[in-house]
Amino acid sequence: MALGDCQGGPAFTHTFYDDFRIIRANLVDKTGFQLTTTNRMNPYVVYIDPQLGHIGRHETEARKQHLTKSIKTATMPMSYVARALETDETRGLMKAVVDGESGQILGFTCLGIEGGEIMSIVQVAMMGEVPYTTLQQAVFAHPKLAESLNNLWGFLKWRGIRSLCSMLSLFRSHS
Ligand SMILES: Cc1cc2nc3c(=O)[nH]c(=O)nc-3n(C[C@H](O)[C@H](O)[C@H](O)COP(=O)(O)OP(=O)(O)OC[C@H]3O[C@@H](n4cnc5c(N)ncnc54)[C@H](O)[C@@H]3O)c2cc1C
């Protein structure tokens, strides 16, 4: 049994800490709930300037893994984020990858001011399987960076007629 970096895979402190939690719960606490690494989320932040935060699948991964599904992407420059404008730090962009049929968020990347914090908000939405439409309609305090998660989805791109059909069915299911 190997824990942490030496087992390969993403070498992050939070990954190693989750390994520890799993072992403690399964072998020491023996709560009866078997924790596992299956479907474990692997967020990361690169502390460059501005920050790069990422969670879930990149577009290319999503397209490979969901061949039968319609994948949509939304890319929005940080210059569209009110808080970024106010702090005069408008470099970068955010990008989301969405399952066009269910509206589930598959991945999110933010290169921008506090990109890791914005990514963590999206991660919580993904953990709760919250569709992007909920974030689009959420009332976030103004002018917080989170507010950008209202506007990002206006940049969703559709690919082909199949995506158009998905859009219509999603609209019907949320209206
Ligand atoms: C410069 C740097 C920056 C990083 N920044 C981040 C970051 O910002 N965010 C993030 O999530 N991750 C970051 N990481 C990665 C993170 O530090 C590792 O993923 C994490 O520490 C892995 O934990 P671990 O317990 O597997 O290994 P380690 O933390 O390396 O612990 C292994 C321990 O085993 C000990 N050891 C080794 N050989 C023996 C031996 N023969 N006998 C006894 N003890 C031994 C070592 O001394 C060490 O204390 C960074 C790593 C580096 C190098």
Dist. CA 30 → ligand 1 center (Å): 27
Task: Give the number of the atom of ligand 1 that is nearest the alpha carbon of residue 4.
Answer: 26
Q: Say if ligand 1 is within 6 A of residue 175 CB.
A: no
Quote the pLDDT of residue 123.
98
Mean pLDDT over 5-23 rounds to 93
Would you name the residues annotated as active-site residues? Answer: 142
Q: Say if ligand 1 is within 6 A of residue 16 CB.
A: yes
Domain ranges of the chain: 9-40, 44-174
Task: Give per-residue pLDDT as tens, 63-121.
Answer: 988 765 699 999 999 999 999 999 999 999 999 999 999 999 999 999 999 999 999 99
Q: For residues 151 and 41, what is the distance between their CA atoms, to the nearest angstrom?
A: 25
Q: For residues 22 and 36, what is the distance between their CA atoms, to the nearest angstrom?
A: 6
Q: Is the pLDDT of residue 28 over 90?
A: yes
- Report CA dihedral (138, 139, 142, 145) to the nearest 10 degrees: -20
Class assignment of domain 44-174?
Answer: alpha beta
Task: Give per-residue pLDDT as tens, 46-77.
Answer: 999 999 999 999 999 999 887 656 999 999 99
Q: Are 86 and 143 in contact (CB under 8 A)?
A: yes
